[in-house]
Amino acid sequence: MTETTPTILWLRRDLRLSDHPALHDACASGQPVIPVFIHDDEVATLGAAPKWRLRLGLAHMAKALGETGSKLVLRRGSALDVLRALVAETGARRVVWTRGYAPGQISRDTDVKSALKADGLEVQSHPGLLLFEPWDVATKDGGFYKVYTPMWRSVRDRDVASPLPAPTRIPAPKVWPDSDDLDDWQMGRAMNRGAAVVSGHIHVGEDAARGRLGAFLAHRVARYKSERDRLDIDACSGLSENLAYGEISPRTIWHSGWRALHEGHAQAEDFLKELVWREFAYHLIYHTPRLESQNWRPEWDGFPWQGEGDAVQAWRQGRTGIEVVDAAMRELYVTGRMHNRARMLVASFLTKHLLVDWRLGRDWFAECLVDWDPASNAMGWQWVAGSGPDAAPYFRIFNPDTQAQKFDPKAAYRKMWLAEASRTPPETALAFYDACPRSWNLSPKDTRPSPIIDLKDGRERALAAYKDHRENQ
Ligand code: FAD
């Protein structure tokens, strides 16, 4: 290798400069670095909101790279074909990237790695998405964790390396390879009217992520445990959006959380615990890839889940007549996010009261969430449905009304998102009508729908269905 032989840095969901082991490695030799993002099938199949949000993250990353004297090269096609073409064009001898752990990523990356190695290239994948590599966390008998709490105990006191600094200059090649124009990829096309509305609620890029972390630690961490379940209080960090695109590293968050704990904020420990739920999701999807699409517990196979129908559409539109469920579904459409407690409630309502297949809920979240994450989403749905590891037992069926009284005691959250039945709806509630498809034909002047199911009847029907399924297995 000569001093001008470049290294290709294949960027994926790691759109940051600081604490980026693959970037650090690429820069270490002082040889030119060519950062590339590839619009492959994995990107093409993203839902509307995550794809649109990814585009914003890429534009931001391109700017950040520009400030270090580098560039973001954009190419479309299969990852292997694109990387091979870039190698041929630039004379690169090394390719590096940050590891992914979802089943599709693993199979793609494995194929790409072995093909490039067979071509005689040096290929190196790095950690960076997680705190702990899924294979580095094991039970006493060497297996993987199927229950969260023992995993938390096993990792809580581990040493986690300090975050790496961001490079101030990234060595550039003399000649840059051609790049596509980001606008030509039209990654926001499926967002239709939603983009203008959701834009007001997102925080794009590394600085925004750090700002979010700083604000959370300064104002909210002290009451995190007591308030994180409250629907009407902004008590959480909001960092899932940035974690989803790698705009902040989990190590950066982990070390900040520990600092807050040492400074006397005991509830910071609960924040660290939540971060480890994300680790648990990746631990599980790595060791049991079926988490993504199949019932994690095979005894759920054959359960008579309902499919598409009017009830599912009413759920998507926030027209079930159950106020807290509808409010949450509108929050999702307007902000691209949903409160964690609300995610559990709408998922429970769909899979238990309506007996709908959890995969339909998973897919709607994958379409609408700007913080969509393959592991946390699949785990969240299976956890609530009861088919997943460490899942809520089948007989735990949230009563949405009781939950609303507890976590939204003054109905502030419901009023914030529901326009019908209010003479002076707030802007948040009205924004839903600007964002939702015209074909839904909804208006704030509509009357509130009556409940599509009586909560007591729905609960009994679900319990009877589970009992029947278990007895007939
Ligand atoms: P905070 O309360 O500030 O927590 C800090 C971080 O911990 C989060 O950013 C997140 O990375 C992690 N975390 C917190 N709760 C969980 C959890 N239950 N599971 C895994 N990690 C967690 N999270 C996603 O990031 N993407 C998803 O697609 C997603 N889908 C979900 C679907 C369902 C049905 C359910 C029940 C949960 C889902 N979650 C998902 C988990 C959780 O709701 C979000 O991570 C959380 O609401 C993000 O808000 P925050 O960043 O303010 O969290």
Q: Is the CB of 376 under 6 A from ligand 1?
A: yes
For the stretch 416-430, pLDDT in tens is 999 997 899 999 999
Confidence at residue 269, expressed as pLDDT on a 0 to 100 scale = 98
Ligand 1: residue of 376, 381, 390 to mutate (most ligand atoms within 8 A of CB) is: 376
Task: Cite the DSSP H helix spans in 203-291.
Answer: 206-219, 224-227, 240-244, 250-262, 268-287
Over residues 283-303, mean pLDDT: 96
Would you call 125 helix, strand, or coil by DSSP? strand
- What distance in angstroms lies between residue 115's CA and the mean position of ligand 1's atoms? 36
Q: What is the mean pLDDT of the chain?
A: 96
Would you call 405 helix, strand, or coil by DSSP? helix
Q: Given pLDDT bands bounded at 50, 70 and 90, which one contains residue 393? A: confident
- The amino acid present at 33, given as its one-letter code, is V
Q: Is the CB of 274 under 6 A from ligand 1?
A: yes
Residue 392 has pLDDT above 80, yes or no: no
Q: How far apart are CA 189 and CA 200, in angstroms?
A: 18
Residue 21 has pLDDT above 80, yes or no: yes
- What distance in angstroms lies between residue 89's CA and the mean position of ligand 1's atoms? 41
Residue 363 has pLDDT above 80, yes or no: yes
Q: Is the CB of 398 under 6 A from ligand 1?
A: no
Q: What are phi and psi of 11, to 5 degrees?
A: -90, 145
Q: Is the CB of 273 under 6 A from ligand 1?
A: no
Q: Is the CB of 281 under 6 A from ligand 1?
A: yes
Q: Among 413, 305, 298, which residue's Cα sits nearest to residue 350?
A: 305
Residue 2 has pLDDT above 70, yes or no: no
Confidence at residue 462, expressed as pLDDT on a 0 to 100 scale = 95
Q: How far apart are CA 228 and CA 184, in angstroms?
A: 41
- What distance in angstroms lies between residue 189's CA and the mean position of ligand 1's atoms? 26
- Is-contact 260 217, C-beta < 8 A? yes
Over residues 301-317, mean pLDDT: 96
Confidence at residue 4, expressed as pLDDT on a 0 to 100 scale = 86
Atom 44 in ligand 1: which residue has the minimum CA distance?
A: 340
Q: Is the CB of 133 under 6 A from ligand 1?
A: no
For the stretch 127-184, pLDDT in tens is 999 999 999 999 999 999 999 999 999 999 999 999 999 999 999 999 999 999 999 9
Confidence at residue 150, expressed as pLDDT on a 0 to 100 scale = 97
Confidence at residue 472, expressed as pLDDT on a 0 to 100 scale = 86
DSSP per-residue codes, 274-341: HHHHHHHHHHHHHH-GGGGTS-SSGGGTT---B-SSHHHHHHHHT-SS-HHHHHHHHHHHHHS---HH
Over residues 225-251, mean pLDDT: 98
Confidence at residue 1, expressed as pLDDT on a 0 to 100 scale = 60
Ligand 1: residue of 202, 340, 362, 373 to mutate (most ligand atoms within 8 A of CB) is: 340
Q: Given pLDDT bands bounded at 50, 70 and 90, which one contains residue 396? A: confident
Confidence at residue 390, expressed as pLDDT on a 0 to 100 scale = 78
For the stretch 77-92, pLDDT in tens is 999 999 999 999 999 9
Percentage of the residues of the chain whose pLDDT score is greater than 90: 96
- What distance in angstroms lies between residue 153's CA and the mean position of ligand 1's atoms? 20
